[in-house]
Structure 1
Amino acid sequence: MSRIKLIVLDVDGVLTDGRLYIGSDAVEYKAFHTQDGMGISLARQAGIKTAIITGRKSNAVLKRAEELQIDFIYEGIADKLTVLQNLIDQIGIGFEEICYMGDDLNDIPILKEVGFPCAPHNAIDFVKKQAKLITKSSGGNGAVREMIDFLLKEHYSDEDLLELFLSRKTEVTQ
């Protein structure tokens, strides 16, 4: 596997458990896992850029992405592949340098193109067939962290990861 330079994530079913909580005030609530946040922070510290491409729009996603310093955020996207193509043209990398995690049909076009396609345990079977890594964890329950740990361990020992964390722990968000 070539060095991954960009991690791209779907939200519902990947960063969350896929359930939607909509209050009587029409506000949408989502639960995010802190271990996923730590993984994203570690990836950033290792020099890997991050992006979210999601079909829904949510203030909760924007807030979480801001906290985690996600580099690129795209919401309300029907054609995720076109958005990703524009992004890689903008930042000057190839599909082979991208890790993507998705869980449903709208993620298939990207999963077929990227260098390292991944799926959480709760993904639909068709998505899992496209993935090089299927996490033991489900979306919203540490799947993103599991994937990032897998990627980082290709280049870092456990001790190196700890040192990376300790050297910049003030910049880490869970």
Structure 2
Amino acid sequence: MEIHSNALKAAKKIKMVILDVDGVLTDGGIYIGETGELYKPFNCRDGLGITLAHKQGIKTAIITGRCSKQVAFRAQELNISEVFQGNTDKREAYNELKQHTGLRDEEIAYIGDDLIDLPIMLQVGLPMAVADAVPAVRMHSLVISDYPGGKGAVRDLLEFIFKAKGNWENILASFLVPVQQEENAGLGQ
């Protein structure tokens, strides 16, 4: 992971992470079936990372340039209520989101991969990128994942935020508790 000098300080302030979809939550490919249906491969590790963010009180949102039923379905699955689709100029959606949530730029992170993401990345407190982001996006990011879009980059970047906030050890510990064995008292008698 590539981490720039102000990233840790910025991550401590984050209350919301905004996600791009194509190239961030997915690998950026557009898969079209023979009858024209679209497929988008989402990563389960990213999904768990988003769920953990919610449990830590970090909100998530999606702002994407394309419209698709698959994004709406995945957002609903992950309890992401703030979803803006069809926004090729993402600034309007970003401003609406800030107004609706009352959050300030420095309280928001954005994970992007392409030029369409730059206008918001230049505003937020913590601009982040996937490993295979275009050079201009990488140049303007404080944190760059080791993973490409759709391959666990979102999870990787969320873990950076959890660690910066001092939450990672508690998150990890919650998964290290063994399943409680039921008492065998009274069984088989």
TM-score, normalised with respect to structure 2? 0.84
Provide closer, same or farther for how the CA distance between residues 119 and 18 of structure 1 changes in structure 2, counting only shifts above 3 A.
Answer: same
Q: Which runs of 5+ in 1 are unaligned?
A: 168-174
Does residue 32 in structure 1 map to residue 37 in structure 2?
no
Structure 2 equivalent of residue 98 of structure 1: 108
Query: 1:153 is paired with a residue of what secondary structure?
Result: helix
What is the aligned counterpart of 2:81 among 61, 67, 71?
A: 71
Structure 2 equivalent of residue 148 of structure 1: 158
Q: Deviations over 1:51-93 (max 9, x none)?
A: 0000111111111111100120011112111211111011111
- Cα displacement (A) at 1:154: 1.3
What is the aligned counterpart of 1:5 among 12, 15, 18?
A: 15
**CA distance in structure 1 between the aligned counterparts of 2:163 and 2:60, rounded to whole angstroms:** 18
Does residue 57 in structure 1 map to residue 67 in structure 2?
yes
Structure 2 equivalent of residue 171 of structure 1: none
Tell me if the contact between 1:10 and 1:54 (Cα under 8 Å) persists in the aligned partners.
Answer: yes
What is the aligned counterpart of 1:162 among 172, 176, 183?
A: 172
**CA distance in structure 2 between the aligned counterparts of 1:105 and 1:166, rounded to whole angstroms:** 40
Q: Which moved more, 1:142-151 or 1:1-10?
A: 1-10
Provide closer, same or farther for how the CA distance between residues 42 and 29 of structure 1 changes in structure 2, counting only shifts above 3 A.
Answer: same
- Cα displacement (A) at 1:116: 0.2
Provide closer, same or farther for how the CA distance between residues 158 and 84 of structure 1 changes in structure 2, counting only shifts above 3 A.
Answer: closer
Aligned residues, how many? 167
TM-score, normalised with respect to structure 1? 0.91
Structure 2 equivalent of residue 85 of structure 1: 95
Q: Which runs of 5+ in 2 are unaligned?
A: 1-9, 178-189
- Cα displacement (A) at 1:159: 3.1
Q: Which moved more, 1:6-15 or 1:18-27?
A: 18-27
**CA distance in structure 2 between the aligned counterparts of 1:161 and 1:126, rounded to whole angstroms:** 33
Provide closer, same or farther for how the CA distance between residues 147 and 99 of structure 1 changes in structure 2, counting only shifts above 3 A.
Answer: same
Query: 1:87 is paired with a residue of what secondary structure?
Result: helix
Tell me if the contact between 1:45 and 1:164 (Cα under 8 Å) persists in the aligned partners.
Answer: no
Query: 2:74 is paired with a residue of what secondary structure?
Result: helix
Which letter maps to 2:158? Answer: I
Provide closer, same or farther for how the CA distance between residues 166 and 59 of structure 1 changes in structure 2, counting only shifts above 3 A.
Answer: farther
Provide closer, same or farther for how the CA distance between residues 14 and 59 of structure 1 changes in structure 2, counting only shifts above 3 A.
Answer: same
Tell me if the contact between 2:130 and 2:144 (Cα under 8 Å) persists in the aligned partners.
Answer: yes
Which letter maps to 1:96? Answer: E
Provide closer, same or farther for how the CA distance between residues 89 and 122 of structure 1 changes in structure 2, counting only shifts above 3 A.
Answer: same
Structure with larger Rg = 2
**CA distance in structure 2 between the aligned counterparts of 1:131 and 1:104, rounded to whole angstroms:** 12
